Amino acid sequence: MTGLRTDGQTVQGLHVIQLDGTVNLGVYGRVNVNGSTLKQVEEKLTDHLGPFADDPKAMRVDVVLNACNSQFCYIEKRDGDKSVVFRLPISDAYRVRDALITINRFQTFDKTNRIVLRRRATAAERGRTMEIDWHGIWKYGETRTNYQLMPGDRLVIDSSRSK
């Protein structure tokens, strides 16, 4: 972005899209750009910043993809023969607890659901399935099954099967 000035504030330079899909513009707030193309990001930023500009028509917003650091894991919520899959952006320190807390905003589950982490295979080994003790993680702070999530991991929450 180049040269937005109002009350002495300028928005310029690199702005990283956060894990929640927003761009932080400091005093001008946050803009949700999750799932947008570069052109759509430019339009969203222009629309958001326009009211703050002295001359909105002279304002210029340029968006360039500097780096693609996106990493995702997948959460599958099963209930009998029905299944819902969520794609969740993760960072280097994202753990099972973080993912389950995030998904719990959209889909409820309880301690009786069977939860497993499926890690994809590498060339040297077979894929792994690891049981998750959600009750232990949440209620007692146990870390034994609070695995760090890796790109491509799948957390499967099966409501039709109890532990």
Query: Sorting pLDDT into bands at 50, 70 and 90, what band is 131?
Result: very high
Same domain for 96 and 47, yes or no, is no
Query: Sorting pLDDT into bands at 50, 70 and 90, what band is 43?
Result: very high
Residue 62 lies in a domain: no
Q: Domain containing 128 — which CATH number?
A: 3.10.560.10
Count of structural domains, the chain = 2
pLDDT of residue 2: 42
Residue 82 lies in a domain: yes
pLDDT in tens, 80-110: 888 888 888 887 788 999 888 887 665 566 6
pTM: 0.56
Same domain for 76 and 33, yes or no, is no
Closest CA to 33 of 3, 12, 63: 63
Same domain for 100 and 154, yes or no, is yes
Query: Sorting pLDDT into bands at 50, 70 and 90, what band is 154?
Result: very high
Same domain for 118 and 149, yes or no, is yes
Same domain for 148 and 90, yes or no, is yes
**What is the mean predicted confidence (pLDDT) over 53-63?**
82
Residue 67 lies in a domain: no
pLDDT of residue 69: 67
Kindly report the backbone phi and psi dihedral angles of residue 13, in degrees, each rounded to the nearest multiple of 5, phi listed first: 95, -170
Same domain for 107 and 41, yes or no, is no
Residue 66 lies in a domain: no
Same domain for 45 and 92, yes or no, is no
Residue-wise burial string across 68-82, b where 16 or more C-beta atoms lie within 10 A, e elsewhere: eeebebbbebbeeee
Residue 126 lies in a domain: yes
CA dist., res. 63 & res. 88, Å (int): 24
Same domain for 100 and 153, yes or no, is yes
Same domain for 38 and 117, yes or no, is no
Percent of the chain clearing pLDDT 70 (strictly above): 82
Same domain for 41 and 82, yes or no, is no
Domain limits for position 46: 4-52
